[in-house]
Structure 1
Amino acid sequence: MDYITAFWLALVQGITEFLPVSSQAHLVLAGQWIGEVYQGLEFDVILHAGSLVAVVTYFRKEVFSMARDWFSTLAGGEKTKDSKLAWWVIIGTIPAGVLGILLKDAAEVILRSEVVMGFALIIFGIFLGLADWKGSRNRDEYSLGLKDVLIIGFAQALALIPGTSRSGITMTAALFLGLNRESAARFSFLLSIPIIAAAGLLLTLDLLRNGSNMSWDILLVGFVVAVISTYACIHYFLAFIKRIGMQPFVIYRIVLGGLLLWYFL
């Protein structure tokens, strides 16, 4: 892999990781377009690390407050809205984590195709549009209850289907539950932290077993680009949906999914 390839793949990852448009589908398409069908395990690890650093840095105040209050409650301290939110992030991660471990290999073998991605982009894009249109948008992430969190958590597990979009499906579930757009996005982003960390850890363990042949300078380019582009994407996405909503992403998903089906069917 050369520097230009590393730059573009990291940029695609950073821009699409937290948009409701499926980063996996875009990475596959970008890889085919530039002739780098699979970027390698070590590059996967570094892109996950970049995304994780970006989201934790952006929400550093929230993450610090949640972690501080959560550890305080473990020591018998008073429960707060931030400690409760921390518990909801942990509990909401469990369904996707368990099902991901059990079904990941089967899902990649059975479902990993451009046709499946095309259908998933369209179908779950329509659901996102309905949620954005029908949702009451009168709640924030601190109003979530256990039932709400489990619904969002199991929805996140649907991201095993390529083209679904982890952020897209969790925002869809949150919007259907009545969260406003910014709160749905914020909870989706916070919920991504343990999932991305766990995925990065598993990839790292695989990497340690298999070894690495990629040069450190290529990995550094990927990491830096992923951090910067992911951070910028989160910032501008939150501002964008506050003014305009999810419908542009719905249209984009349907058009992209249609193009995939037209080309590969």
Structure 2
Amino acid sequence: MSLFHLILVAIIQGITEFLPISSSGHLILLPNLTGLQDQGQTIDVAVHVGTLGAVVLYFWPDVKRAISGLPHALIGRTDTEQARLALGLIIATIPTVIAGFILYMTGLSEAMRSITVIGWTMLGFGLLLYWMDQKAPQTKETADWGVRDAFKMGLWQVLALIPGTSRSGITITGARQLGYTREDGARIAMLMSIPTILASGTLLALDVIGNADARLARDGAIAAVFAFFSALLALSLMMRLLRSVSFTPYVIYRVILGAILLFMAYS
């Protein structure tokens, strides 16, 4: 891969992983719309590592709290906020891991990688985000997140396995439906991404072990670095904007892109 292609893939992944506009959808569209070759699974692993590093660094105080509460959560003790956060992240991840494994083993994940599917999910789930964001109350904060809400948001997250849905977008939609504020809903959604990205990245890594060479390793390192910095920038920008701006700008982008893709698919 050329340096330009690597940087392009890394920046697209980094920016779109945490904004509610779907990273997988954009990466699938890249070769379809530009004629560039598919980046391959090694680069996919690399950019996942980069974005994982960005979200861990940005939310490090929350991550540290979850890590400190993990030992208690694993033995069923949820008498501290740290343990409840750790247990919630575990519970929220389980449905996606199970559903993702089934889709991977059956090949359905590849069958859904089409412009038509991405067009409909961009449009439909974008409008759903707008509806929930405008109509749902803003009464809950991160400290209110418990097992029941974690499981419900985990079910919402399963929908992100459909390309174009957006993992962050659909979990934020779920958080808003449950009544969390925009900023706290986004914070929970970002924290949920850590075990999810770790699980999907590990699955991809198992596929590429033994196939990567020195050149691929170099390309992966470059992609990871650019994905890290672009994801960190996107995260910082979104979390700051949420203090004064709704999710409407992202919805407008999704609706426009979805309409263009559906026009292309059916014309």
Please report the TM-score for the alignment, with normalisation by the length of structure 1: 0.94
SS at match of 2:246: coil
Q: Give the C-alpha shift of residue 147 in structure 1.
A: 2.4
User: After superposition, where does 1:91-102 map in structure 2 within 5 Å?
Assistant: 91-102=91-102
Q: Could you tell me how far apart the structure 1 residues matched to 2:140 and 2:62 are? A: 18
Q: Which amino acid aligns with 2:178?
A: L
Q: Please say if residues 118 and 261 of structure 1, whose CA atoms lie closer than 8 Å, have aligned partners that are also in contact.
A: yes
Structure-2 residue corresponding to 1:20: 20
Q: Give the C-alpha shift of residue 76 in structure 1.
A: 9.1
Q: Deviations over 1:157-208 (max 9, x none)?
A: 0111111111110000110100000111111111011111111111111111
Q: Please say if residues 107 and 160 of structure 1, whose CA atoms lie closer than 8 Å, have aligned partners that are also in contact.
A: no
> How many residues are aligned here?
265
Q: Give the C-alpha shift of residue 65 in structure 1.
A: 1.5
Q: Deviations over 1:241-260 (max 9, x none)?
A: 22111011111111000000
Please report the TM-score for the alignment, with normalisation by the length of structure 2: 0.93
Structure-2 residue corresponding to 1:79: 79
Q: Deviations over 1:54-82 (max 9, x none)?
A: 11111111111211122256579882112
Is structure 2 residue 146 aligned with structure 1 residue 145? yes
Relative distance call for 1:4 and 1:61 in structure 2 (3 A) is same
Q: Could you tell me how far apart the structure 1 residues matched to 2:73 and 2:162 are? A: 36
Q: Give the C-alpha shift of residue 144 in structure 1.
A: 2.2
Structure-2 residue corresponding to 1:226: 227
Q: Could you tell me how far apart the structure 2 residues matched to 1:78 and 1:20 are? A: 31
SS at match of 1:39: coil
Q: Could you tell me how far apart the structure 1 residues matched to 2:257 and 2:145 are? A: 33
Structure-2 residue corresponding to 1:195: 196
Q: Could you tell me how far apart the structure 2 residues matched to 1:48 and 1:36 are? A: 20
Structure-1 residue corresponding to 2:263: 262
Q: Deviations over 1:5-51 (max 9, x none)?
A: 10011000000001111111111222334432410111111011101
Is structure 2 residue 63 aligned with structure 1 residue 66? no
Q: Which amino acid aligns with 1:190?
A: L
User: After superposition, where does 1:104-183 map in structure 2 within 5 Å?
Assistant: 104=104, 105-183=106-184
Relative distance call for 1:109 and 1:40 in structure 2 (3 A) is closer
Q: Could you tell me how far apart the structure 1 residues matched to 2:257 and 2:6 are? A: 23
Q: Please say if residues 95 and 154 of structure 1, whose CA atoms lie closer than 8 Å, have aligned partners that are also in contact.
A: yes
SS at match of 1:125: helix
Q: Could you tell me how far apart the structure 2 residues matched to 1:110 and 1:40 are? A: 17
Relative distance call for 1:67 and 1:112 in structure 2 (3 A) is same
Structure-1 residue corresponding to 2:11: 11
Q: Could you tell me how far apart the structure 1 residues matched to 2:84 and 2:62 are? A: 12
Q: CA RMSD in A?
A: 1.8
Q: Please say if residues 22 and 164 of structure 1, whose CA atoms lie closer than 8 Å, have aligned partners that are also in contact.
A: yes
Relative distance call for 1:87 and 1:25 in structure 2 (3 A) is same
Q: Give the C-alpha shift of residue 224 in structure 1.
A: 0.8
Structure-1 residue corresponding to 2:52: 52
Q: Could you tell me how far apart the structure 1 residues matched to 2:76 and 2:180 are? A: 30
Structure 1: any 5+ residue segments left out of the alignment?
none
Q: Which amino acid aligns with 1:146?
A: V
Q: Could you tell me how far apart the structure 2 residues matched to 1:14 and 1:55 are? A: 10
Relative distance call for 1:103 and 1:215 in structure 2 (3 A) is closer
Structure-1 residue corresponding to 2:42: 42
SS at match of 1:44: helix
Structure 2: any 5+ residue segments left out of the alignment?
none
